[in-house]
């Protein structure tokens, strides 16, 4: 059985991709690097906001369901 020379392992593929990414980044202007960095920060901040919102909604729902299941005495 003949092996395909284009069939690389995932580690080789990842390594090549990282090399190309580093090369492209090294060739970028400082302004472009700054723009990419600010976009990445905004994306991470939005992700964090969504995560916190989801956690607070889950906590609120748990609190409501717990308090509504407690029998009322009167």
Question: How many separate domains does the chain show?
Answer: 1
Q: Is residue 36 part of a domain?
A: yes
Q: Which pLDDT score, from 0 to 100, does residue 70 have?
A: 55
Nearest to 45 by CA among 55, 56, 53: 53
Q: Is residue 49 part of a domain?
A: yes
Q: Is residue 11 part of a domain?
A: no
Residues 6 or more apart whose Cβ sits within 8 Å of residue 16: 8
Q: Is residue 1 part of a domain?
A: no
Q: Is residue 30 part of a domain?
A: yes
pLDDT higher than threshold 70 for residue 12: yes
Q: Is residue 50 part of a domain?
A: yes
Please tell me whether the overall predicted TM-score, pTM, comes out greater than 0.75 for this model: no
Q: Which pLDDT score, from 0 to 100, does residue 42 have?
A: 98
Range of the domain at 23: 19-65
- Report the length, in residues, of the chain: 74
The residue with greater pLDDT, 66 or 9, is 9
């Amino acid at each position: 059985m003949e092996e395909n020379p284009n069939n690389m392992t995932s580690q080789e593929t990842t390594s090549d991709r990282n090399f190309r990414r580093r090369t492209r980044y090294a060739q970028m202007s400082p302004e472009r690097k700054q723009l990419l960095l600010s976009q990445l920060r905004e994306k991470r901040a939005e992700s964090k906001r969504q995560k916190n919102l989801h956690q607070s909604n889950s906590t609120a729902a748990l609190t409501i369901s717990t308090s509504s299941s407690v029998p009322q005495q009167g």
